[in-house]
Chain A
Amino acid sequence: MGFWNVITSIIPSAIAYTIPILMGALGGLYSERSGVTNLCIEGLMLFGVFSAAATIVKLQAIPGFSFVLAIVIGIAVAAAASMLLSLLHAFAAINLKANQVISGTAINMLSTAVSLFLAQTITGSGNITIVRGIIRQDVPLLSRIPVIGQLFFHSTYWTTWLCLLLWSGSWFLLYKTSFGLRLRACGEHPSAVASAGVSVHRMRYIGVLASGFFSGIGGACILVTYAGEYNAGSGINGLGFLAIAALIFGQWKPLGILGSTFFFGLCMTIANMGKVFPLFQGIPTGYLGMFPYVATLIALVFSSRRSAAPLASGEPF
């Protein structure tokens, strides 16, 4: 297998792994920039996986129901369900002035337990497998561009483009509108925002709900692209925490998280597909699996020192 072949098989798969982490990190970005520490990305994403799986399985079982439409509805339901769950975190963090780290952990556990509880009631087992995920397609015209077309536009998931659209929309919203300025100011200096006559609580609610929305979509993407099932046993393997690490590594900036999540996506690809490449074949599975987490720790060592965390993140107002 030549070098070019390795690259062309790594990059598309790395993109597939990147997108859910990107969505999780983007959700965390909204929440943390508005001043609420959000460690429940993992739980929100898992709930997204579960609710999308349950919806899609039910819809795909209906004869004659369009598979694509089922997936679209599944993603929408996942976003809504995770928003609902994030409402719990928002309520605890904003109204009850709870310890946000503990509340986030509680949401993570609640999500694992409730989704498994519901999965048991729906299917009788801890797993929900959907009939069919998204079929990879070439982007017309663009996929014919030499080199780049082969890497980025060849056999892609449409969710990838949806998520990138959401990402760029978020960048615009956060940096080019007065709403975005207010949201970011809530995370830096909430009293200033309050004295300007803007409700800090409302902005923070929007921030946390946005994190639920994006994490839910991220979770649904895991399901409809590479995973194809909700598995209670392994959950999402700490992907939500990787997203938080990517948020720190990306210095709480949209462009930063795009870069850092792609780095983690690459690591995940090497961990999951390592055996395919002759270069890594001698390495035992255990060490390959460990790789993304070790890489994350090392990345955090280099990025946490000069931390640009929002000043008021984690402080009740």
Chain B
Amino acid sequence: MENRTKHLFLKTLCLGAGLCIATATQAQDDRPLIEPDVTPVPVTEALIDTENFEIGAFVGVLNIEDFESSLLYGGKLTYHLSESFFFEAGVGFAEGGETSFEKLAGNVEVLTDSERDYSYYNINLGYNVLPGEAFLTENYAFNTNFYLIAGAGATDFAGDTRFTLNAGAGYQVLLTDSVAVQIGVRQHYYRIDVLGAEKTSMNTEVSTGLSVFF
């Protein structure tokens, strides 16, 4: 009898204790050891900083056919369509010098001072033909691009605005992901009739610039 009572009590005790421990561990499993005090924020496309635009300034030399070479400065805005293609809109300012004729004849002026102001704008399509890396040290490399570019626009020079085609190539070195330097050569072509007969004027631009991605 005594044995039976003991058995009954022990059984319920053991069962109860077991249940208690089970529920206790169950409760512990539900709760992480350290409660996070931040709620997770979903990552959406709008939160990612997209840097497809690039804005820059350049300075160089523009050889204006018949009118000497001049200091050239300007700016450009680039939109990268893909890893290979980009759109570029640029403006440039220079000043035409004197023709050989004006120098030899002395007191002759083919153009007035304001007509010698040279400015252009163009819209171009570029292609990164050779993406690459330039290795500065063993552990440090800059990303680079060799690109071809061509487009059309207008040149305001010698009193008129003329349709202008341009084509060229350049080499860009990305100092960081947001800042780049480049050096480029561009040939500008337009028809001009200031010195008598109409002809194609070829103007070579060599420039170097700095740009920022945003």
Bound pair (A, B): no
> A: which residues have CB within 8 A of B?
none
Query: B: which residues have CB within 8 A of A?
Result: none
